[in-house]
Amino acid sequence: MDSNIEALVAALPRILDGVWITIQLTLGGAALAMVIAVVFGILARSPRTLVRGFARTVIEFFRGTSLVVQIFWFFFVLPQLGVELHPMAAGILALGLNYGAYAAEVVRGSINSVPTGQWEATTALSMTRAQRMRRVIFPQAWALMIPSLTNLLIHLLKGTAVVGTITIADLTFRLDSLQRDTNTFFAYGLGLVIYFVLAYVLTLIMNALEVQAKHRLGRGESLKEALSLRSPDTGVAAGEAARS
């Protein structure tokens, strides 16, 4: 066990490098995915058949053709067509397009489930289409879509583990070198724990975003209240304070 710890200390800088690459891929992929999700989620609701058809084709294409195929396509095929991509760019592009296509469906579904009365109200207030989306519909849809987006974000994080195949030295790739100095259970057990912690932190951040989004809509407590340690039942305490 001691030799394991020694090997881990020696390998730590490389492992942390790998963790950093994994985080970059996850955040970069998520940022691109979010842009694609919002753009195509809204386009997929367009009344114009041509626009809607285009959005649907793109969404189904990137949902249907498998993440690994897309990664290899960007890495192996694009150079043969004369487009040279940095491996990180290829990785982020594939992750962003693939999970963005899934998230576009979430965005579309959430916008659709904002109550009809809210849409009618924006018409009654003669808002423009942009105002309606930005000020009324999207904030409500956003609160609805966060739980599903959290799931997708965890899937994206887990999906990054495959980029070792296109020469990116991510966490999974680094575990392989740790395994040579320690053993399988130690190296990959540690790797699984690191991924779990990353996923857990992402979930906590997304939960905070959800609390905040709901609070902005006037539902539920604010983030500050949710994070404070005192008990949520303040009725009695307030009464007590008034009496003393």
Positions touching another protein (CB under 8 A) are 60-61, 64-70, 72-73, 76-77, 80-81, 154, 157-162, 164-165, 172, 175-176, 179, 184-185, 188-189, 191-192, 195-196, 199-200, 203
Nearer to another protein, 113 or 222 (CB): 113
3-class SS shares of the chain: helix, strand, coil, % to 5: 85, 0, 15
Rounded CA-CA distance 20/174 in Å is 11
Nearer to another protein, 37 or 175 (CB): 175
Q: Considering the complex, what minimum distance in angstroms separates the CB of residue 187 from another protein?
A: 9
Nearer to another protein, 66 or 131 (CB): 66
Nearer to another protein, 110 or 172 (CB): 172
Q: Considering the complex, what minimum distance in angstroms separates the CB of residue 189 from another protein?
A: 8
Q: Considering the complex, what minimum distance in angstroms separates the CB of residue 99 from another protein?
A: 12
Three-state SS for 44-56 is CCCCCHHHHHHHH
Nearer to another protein, 141 or 175 (CB): 175
Q: Considering the complex, what minimum distance in angstroms separates the CB of residue 156 from another protein?
A: 11
Give 113's DSSP letter.
Answer: T
Q: Considering the complex, what minimum distance in angstroms separates the CB of residue 81 from another protein?
A: 7
Site of tokens 């659709």: 112
Q: Considering the complex, what minimum distance in angstroms separates the CB of residue 159 from another protein?
A: 8
User: Which pair of structure tokens corresponds to residue 29?
Assistant: 């992929």
Rounded CA-CA distance 170/164 in Å is 6
Nearer to another protein, 63 or 216 (CB): 63
User: Which pair of structure tokens corresponds to residue 38?
Assistant: 């919002």
Q: What are phi and psi of 40, to 5 degrees?
A: -75, -30
Q: Considering the complex, what minimum distance in angstroms separates the CB of residue 186 from another protein?
A: 11
Which residue from 158, 136, 138, 137 is spatially nearest to 203, judged by alpha carbons?
158
Rounded CA-CA distance 193/158 in Å is 13
Task: Write the burial class of residue 87 (CB in 10 Å: 0-12 exposed, 13-18 middle, 19+ buried).
Answer: middle
Nearer to another protein, 140 or 150 (CB): 150
At position 227, the amino acid (one-letter code) is: L
